Chain A
Amino acid sequence: MKIAIVAPVFNEEKFIPNFVNSISTLGYPAYIIDDGSVDDTPKILSNLRVKGTKVRIFKHNVNLGKGAAMKTGAEAAFSDGFDAVVFMDADGQHDINDFPKFVKKLNEGYEVVFGSRNMGMGVPLIRYVGNKLASLMISFLFGRYFSDILCGYRAITKKAYKEIKWESAGYAVETEMVIRTAKCKLMHCEVPVSTLYLDEFKGVSLIDAVGIFFDVLRWRIKL
């Protein structure tokens, strides 16, 4: 199975050089999507020279959101002939040592593989509570329990992508993927991943969470 890494990037000047170096050690091609960064990220990316691993850089001229960036990466990778992609956040919070777990599950025939963080270890309390409430809500509304809905470390096959092609441009993408996976009854599983919180001010904010809550209700009616 041909697998590529897809990493949406937004204002990650601090983390992007290390991130690219670390994924290059995996030996898989990478698609990095700069989602309209306004810091030095575009400059760093355009000067990037990676030995061995093929890294393709895509640039959104305006910030569209994480969901749109993931879609750009997935469409580019699948049109290049890859069978599956693994999404990773470029802020260094995902451990590359967990990557083989996704590859293994994809090779076992799973169509969608979700990373599940160990919530007891260093996850801020507000995020922990929010995440668990979201899991319970999805379980109640859609009849499937996912232990970590908001983890961005996940993998998807080309076939599954065609079925669950998301419409969310922002942070609601993770929740939408989970819901569509449940709705389409795709073969999925979860793998434990470790997470480092390096930037507390990034990720889903309270305002995003309220928006996602209403999106979930909309999907309950629509899907």
Chain B
Amino acid sequence: MIVGLQISALIFSLVMIYFALIHYKKGVLNGVEMFFWLLIWVFSIFAVVFPDLLKIFARTFLFARLFDMMVFGGFFLVILLATKSYITTKKLEKKLEDLVRKQSFQYAKKKQKK
């Protein structure tokens, strides 16, 4: 059961590295971002293949089980990314609104001249 879970997590991590590479090649991610994502997924692979390595962290942070720590870490990461994504979306919405408004002013000006 554990091996099955490990294999799934390993495949998922490798697929995510592949996605990161594709987006890097397309220019969506820059070098620093690519390095950050690579680091996360390589760390995930290590954590999946050698789960005992993380046990020491689990004990240090007073988690009863390693799995609990992984779930906590997952939630932490998801909330962090969701917040960042929300703020980025808000900023983009504002920029889009300003741009569309500017264009509408130019349109009205052009129409008035005719």
Chain A interface residues toward B at CB < 8 A:
33, 46, 56-62, 64, 68, 71-72, 75-76, 169
Contact = CB atoms under 8 A, between A and B. Distances in A.
Nearest to A167: B94
Question: Chain B interface mostly helix, strand, loop or mixed?
Answer: helix
A47 to B, nearest CB: 12
Chain B contact patch, size range:
10 to 19
B96 interface: yes
B105 A58 contact: yes
Contacts, number: 40
B101 A72 contact: yes
Best-surrounded residue of A46, A61, A71 (most CB of chain B within 10 A): A61
Interface stretch (B24-32, B34-42, B45-53, B106-114): B106-114
Contacts of B108: 56-59, 76
Given A62-B96, A64-B96, A169-B93, A75 B101 contact: yes
B112 to A, nearest CB: 7
A2 to B, nearest CB: 18
Query: B101, B104, B111 — which one has the most chain A CB atoms within 10 A of its CB?
Result: B104
B100 A62 contact: yes
B98 to A, nearest CB: 10
10 contacts: A33-B104, A56-B108, A56-B112, A58-B104, A59-B104, A59-B107, A61-B104, A62-B100, A169-B93, A169-B97
Contacts of A46: 111
A69 to B, nearest CB: 9
A31 to B, nearest CB: 9
A203 B107 CA distance: 27
A76 B105 contact: yes
A71 B93 CA distance: 15
Given A59-B103, A64-B96, A68-B97, 7 more contacts: A56-B112, A57-B107, A59-B108, A60-B100, A60-B104, A68-B101, A75-B101
A57 B112 CA distance: 9
Nearest to B107: A59
B69 to A, nearest CB: 33
Contacts of B100: 60-62, 64, 68
Nearest to B100: A60
Contacts of A75: 101
Nearest to A58: B104
Contacts of B104: 33, 58-61, 72
A128 B80 CA distance: 40
Contacts of A68: 97, 100-101
Contacts of B101: 60, 68, 71-72, 75
Contacts of A76: 105, 108
A109 B108 CA distance: 31
A83 B96 CA distance: 28
Nearest to A34: B104
Contacts of A59: 103-104, 107-108
Contacts of B111: 46, 56-57
Contacts of A61: 100, 103-104
